Amino acid sequence: MKRILIADDDLELVQLLSLRCTHLGFEAISATNAMEALRLIDDAKPDLVILDVEMPLGNGLSVCEMMSSHERLLAIPVIILTGRQDEETIRRCHQLCAYYVLKCPDIWSRVEPILQEALGSEPVTAGD
């Protein structure tokens, strides 16, 4: 079973994403701050990481940057979730080879295709 780490201080969003990921057959683990995310990335060895930009005890882009400097973590796909739309944030995501996803009411419609692409999951229809 593939493991996804969801790091965001918005607990409702973490619960929503965790439930959706579980429905697709993934194991979802969560962190509420950047330091906890770093620890779990090292300990749990997730197959994909979803990071919020603005979190307590650090920044999701900085976590992604740290991952890119470690050979073992470099291959883990990263989705950056943010409300930021500024050019610098988008550019940093691209420089770090991370998927940029703007937070919106229908965020799952943006995250699910990335999960399927990055982890090889098949879509699950409502009746499944």
94's enclosing H/E stretch is helix 87-95
Query: Taking a C-beta distance cutoff of 8 angstroms, is the pair 33, 41 a contact?
Result: no
Alpha-carbon distance of 30 to 84, in angstroms, equals 22
Q: List the pLDDT tens digit at each of the 128 positions of the chain.
A: 899 999 999 999 999 999 999 999 999 999 999 999 999 998 999 999 999 999 988 899 899 989 988 888 888 999 999 999 999 999 999 999 999 999 999 999 999 999 999 988 655 544 44
The verdict on residue 124 lying in a domain is no
The two counts, helices (H) then strands (E), for the chain are 6, 7
Give me the CATH number covering residue 53: 3.40.50.2300
Alpha-carbon distance of 49 to 78, in angstroms, equals 5
pLDDT of residue 38: 92
The verdict on residue 62 lying in a domain is yes
List, in sequence order, every residue forming a beta bridge with 78; answer none if it has no partner: 49
Residue 38 is part of which domain span? 3-119
Q: How many domains does the chain have?
A: 1
Alpha-carbon distance of 33 to 52, in angstroms, equals 9
The verdict on residue 94 lying in a domain is yes
pLDDT of residue 6: 97
